[in-house]
Amino acid sequence: MTPSIRTIDVDLADRSYAICVGEKNLAELGPAMRRSGLGNKAAIVTDGNIAGLYLKPVEASLRQAGFETSVIFLPAGEEHKNLDAVAAIYDRLVAARFERGSTLVALGGGVVGDVTGFAAASYLRGISYVQVPTTLLAQVDSSVGGKTGVNHKEGKNLIGAFHQPRLVWIDVAVLRSLPKREVVAGLAEVIKYGVIADAALFRRLEEKLDDILKLDSAMLTEVVAASCAIKADVVAKDERESDLRAVLNFGHTVGHALEALTGYETFLHGEAVAIGMVQAAAISVAEGACDRESFERIRRLVVRAGLPAEIPADVSPAELVKHMEVDKKSAGGKIKFILCKGIGATRFHALAPGEIVARLEESR
Ligand code: GLY
């Protein structure tokens, strides 16, 4: 049975847009872009790995729908998420005389999406772009919400802009071409949505985890759509992260620190977030925000998914917390921590660095 397409609206007044989640729907992208009122000229930005798999159907769909298309290749990999990649896009857009009404289509994972989005945010002070995310992480997180940008040699995502896409087009069938480890890492963010906002989604993940791991299309469509709906809701309420949007960073305070401390080589982002969520849940129990049973359910689901849950023995909590202090979340000497209130709700809690070290030591 072909699962139906789910559409989620991101409600941002005149910058509202749809997230469409389906299976094998790449051929329908062109007509959908037409319906979104996008102009005739479109450049598909992608990388060599993705192009071999999905460029043809995407380009054909756009052409059949009457778009004049060109293709811009970016080198694959996080090390190329920098201003050189953005400059390479500008060069092509200038040479091809792209105008305010032209569109960029980001076909790829988080790096392609973030770089393309930033080029779209800045070229001619802002042109339209469409996200066609091809990793689970990008489908449930980075393609939605308009955070665009690149890394600086001193830190990740230091240069960027908020610029919402005009359409997010998700095909869950593309996840079949991902390495299993990457799908599992993306699942960490799906679990996160259950913990922070949706106890029913969390239960569904507990019940259907095996089907999800087998990449059952109906289940993937359901959980990707549920995740995007939560993100869409949060973004609609707090687009620029003045407050609420920070809940999306549940598990990321420890997770980011762990990634940085291990040189971004040991863990995929989602794996570090999985550890961070379990540790944040443990801290939530210790701070009286979360019951023990909910903590156990979170830890069990993370482990069943094949994700790591513990801080490696050779990583010291004190070192981890040092990385948190240089992170932008630090305010007034305390670190703004996101605690879970059981499963499905959160609250912010400022913790002194020493308190976090002590809590992390306790949970070892
Ligand atoms: N990835 C978190 C956010 O988009 O706010």
Q: Which domains does the chain have, with CATH numbers?
A: 6-177 (3.40.50.1970), 180-362 (1.20.1090.10)
Residue 206 annotated in active site:
no
Give burial (CB, 10 Å; 0-12/13-18/19+) of 206. Answer: middle
Quote the CA–CA distance of 162 and 124 in Å, as a whole number.
Answer: 15
DSSP bridge pairs for 330: 335
Pocket probe mutation, ligand 1, options 189, 234, 241, max atoms within 8 Å of Cβ = 241
Closest residue by Cα to residue 193 from 240, 136, 118, 261: 136
DSSP bridge pairs for 351: 335
245 touches ligand 1 (CB under 6 Å): yes
Residue 222 annotated in active site:
no
147 touches ligand 1 (CB under 6 Å): yes
Place of tokens 């790449």: 26
**Ligand 1: distance of its center to the CA of 165 in Å?**
14
Residue 125 annotated in active site:
yes
Residue 81 annotated in active site:
no
59 touches ligand 1 (CB under 6 Å): no
Which helix (H) or strand (E) segment holds residue 57: the answer is helix 56-64
1-to-102, 183, 207, 224 alpha-carbon distances in Å: 37, 23, 20, 18
114 touches ligand 1 (CB under 6 Å): no
All residues at 6 or more sequence positions from 6 whose CB lies less than 8 Å from its CB, including other chains: 20, 21, 22, 221, 222, 225
pLDDT at res. 174: 98
Quote the CA–CA distance of 123 and 183 in Å, as a whole number.
Answer: 33
Output b/e per residue, 132-168; b: 16+ Cβ within 10 A.
bbbbbbbbbbbbbbbbbbbbeeeeeeeebebbbbbbb
Quote the CA–CA distance of 145 and 139 in Å, as a whole number.
Answer: 11
What's the pTM value of the predicted model, to 2 decimals? 0.96
Residue with CA closest to ligand 1 atom 3: 248
**Ligand 1: distance of its center to the CA of 144 in Å?**
8
**Beta strands 6-10 and 17-22, pairing class:** antiparallel
pLDDT at res. 329: 54
Kindly name the residue from 41, 81, 166, 256 that is annotated as catalytic: 256
**Ligand 1: distance of its center to the CA of 145 in Å?**
7
Quote the CA–CA distance of 102 and 120 in Å, as a whole number.
Answer: 10
140 touches ligand 1 (CB under 6 Å): no
Residue 241 annotated in active site:
yes
**Ligand 1: distance of its center to the CA of 245 in Å?**
7
What is the pLDDT tens value at each position of the chain, 364 positions in all?
445 789 999 999 999 999 999 999 999 999 999 999 999 999 999 999 999 999 999 999 999 999 999 999 999 999 999 999 999 999 999 999 999 999 999 999 999 999 999 999 999 999 999 999 999 999 999 999 999 999 999 889 999 999 999 999 999 999 999 999 999 999 999 999 999 999 999 999 999 999 999 999 999 999 999 999 999 999 999 999 999 999 999 999 999 999 999 999 999 999 999 999 999 999 999 999 999 999 999 999 999 999 999 999 999 999 999 988 665 555 678 998 999 999 999 999 999 999 999 999 998 8
- Token representation of residue 228: 């995007």
Residue 231 annotated in active site:
yes
Residue 192 annotated in active site:
no
Q: From the CA of 141, give the closest atom in ligand 1.
A: 1
Place of tokens 């599992």: 184
All residues at 6 or more sequence positions from 353 whose CB lies less than 8 Å from its CB, including other chains: 321, 322, 324, 325, 333, 334, 335
